[in-house]
Structure 1
Amino acid sequence: MDHEVRITLRLPANLHAWLVAQAAANRRSLNSEILHRLETCRRGPATNDESP
């Protein structure tokens, strides 16, 4: 990243708890998990050979 910006983000408690659990399962910090998910979504839909 060239430049980082701090933000305050309000999340519903259940979404926060889910993100914390996902971060732990993926061995990432909460911040890294959120960044990973945002960057993945920004790249567009993943190609999946198992599409229906």
Structure 2
Amino acid sequence: MIRFSLRIPADLHERVTARATADRRSLNSEILHLLETALAAPRADAGSPGGDPASPAPLHGKPDSSPT
């Protein structure tokens, strides 16, 4: 197991702690569960062009649109 420090806002800590308590898990187990669930879920933008804000927009027009 890898151990590392993580800084999170106080309000997020409270939300995760409350969820861990409701799910009867430790804070560490709850964070692991949330990460595993998030990473296992199919991405909503998978397969849709331009759905990922980090991906560049599709190119339109001529390959070389510089003025001639």
- Pairwise TM-score range, normalised by the shorter structure: 0.7 to 0.9
Runs ≥4 in structure 1, deviation > 6 angstroms?
Answer: none
| Count of aligned pairs between the two proteins | 42
Q: For 2:6, what is the secondary structure of its paired residue?
A: coil
Give TM-score scaled by structure 2 length.
0.60
More helix by share: 1
Query: Do structure 1's residue 6 and structure 2's residue 3 form an aligned pair?
Result: yes
Q: Percent identity?
A: 57
In structure 1, the residue matched to 2:14 is: 17
CA RMSD of aligned residues (A): 0.7
Structure with greater contact order relative to length (CA < 8 Å, sep ≥ 6): 1
1:29 aligned partner: 26
Deviation at 1:27, TM superposition (A): 0.2
- Structure 1 gaps of 5+ residues are 46-52
TM-score, normalising length from structure 1? 0.77
Larger Rg over CA atoms: 2
